[in-house]
Amino acid sequence: MTNDHVDARLAPCRFCGRRPLPGQYRAPGPHGPICPDCLEAGLLLVRDRQPRRSLGGSALRFSSDPQEKACEFCGRRERRTFFGFHRPLRRMNTTEGDAVICADCLDRSGELINQAVRRRSSH
Ligand SMILES: [Zn+2]
Ligand SMILES: [Zn+2]
């Protein structure tokens, strides 16, 4: 599912444009990774809906509009419930990098990073 090849390890974060710190684990995505700082900002942003700046200086903003760009990690614009209803899918985007990630992918990426950090600290 991921294309975590050699280039992707050094690719800039999709949301802040910064390169990884030595040994830093970032969650891979189809167009590039998201760093832990942007992940944390994203998890707060999809809750409080307030625009903010990434540590790289790019503008991060909230969207749940089904007309706007789909999440680049899962390709969805909205949630579909068991009964077929459409529900808004909360997303963070940045106009600079043209990157979008949804609340579900933020949760999943956060879990990936937590697991990686736990594995490393158990050595
Ligand atoms: Zn970042
Ligand atoms: Zn997603």
What pLDDT sits at residue 92? Answer: 98
The bound ligand whose nearest atom lies closest to the alpha carbon of 34 is 1
The answer to whether residue 1 is domain-embedded is no
What are the φ/ψ torsions at residue 62 (nearest 5 degrees)? -90, 145
Per-residue pLDDT tens over the stretch 87-100: 999 999 998 778 99
What is the signed CA dihedral for 22, 20, 103, 88, rounded to 10 degrees? Answer: 180
Distance between CA atoms of 34 and 77, rounded to whole angstroms?
19
Distance between CA atoms of 69 and 95, rounded to whole angstroms?
11
The bound ligand whose nearest atom lies closest to the alpha carbon of 109 is 2
Give, as residue ranges, everything with CB less than 5 Å from ion ligand 2.
71, 73-74, 102, 105
The answer to whether residue 102 is domain-embedded is yes
What are the φ/ψ torsions at residue 119 (nearest 5 degrees)? -60, -45
- Domain containing residue 98: 6-121
CB 86 within 8 A of CB 66: yes
What pLDDT sits at residue 112? Answer: 92
What pLDDT sits at residue 119? Answer: 87
The answer to whether residue 76 is domain-embedded is yes
Query: How many separate domains does the chain show?
Result: 1
Per-residue pLDDT tens over the stretch 57-109: 999 999 999 999 999 999 999 998 888 899 999 999 998 778 999 999 999 99
Distance between CA atoms of 61 and 106, rounded to whole angstroms?
14
The answer to whether residue 104 is domain-embedded is yes
CA of 77 to the centre of ligand 2 (A): 8
Q: What is the mean pLDDT of the chain?
A: 91
Higher local confidence (pLDDT), 83 or 44: 44
CA of 97 to the centre of ligand 1 (A): 11
CB 14 within 8 A of CB 58: no
Give, as residue ranges, everything with CB less than 5 Å from ion ligand 1.
13, 15-16, 35, 38
What pLDDT sits at residue 95? Answer: 81
Looking at the chain, list the stretches that DSSP marks H as alpha helix, in order from N- to C-terminal side.
6-10, 36-48, 103-121
Q: Is the pLDDT of residue 6 over 60?
A: no
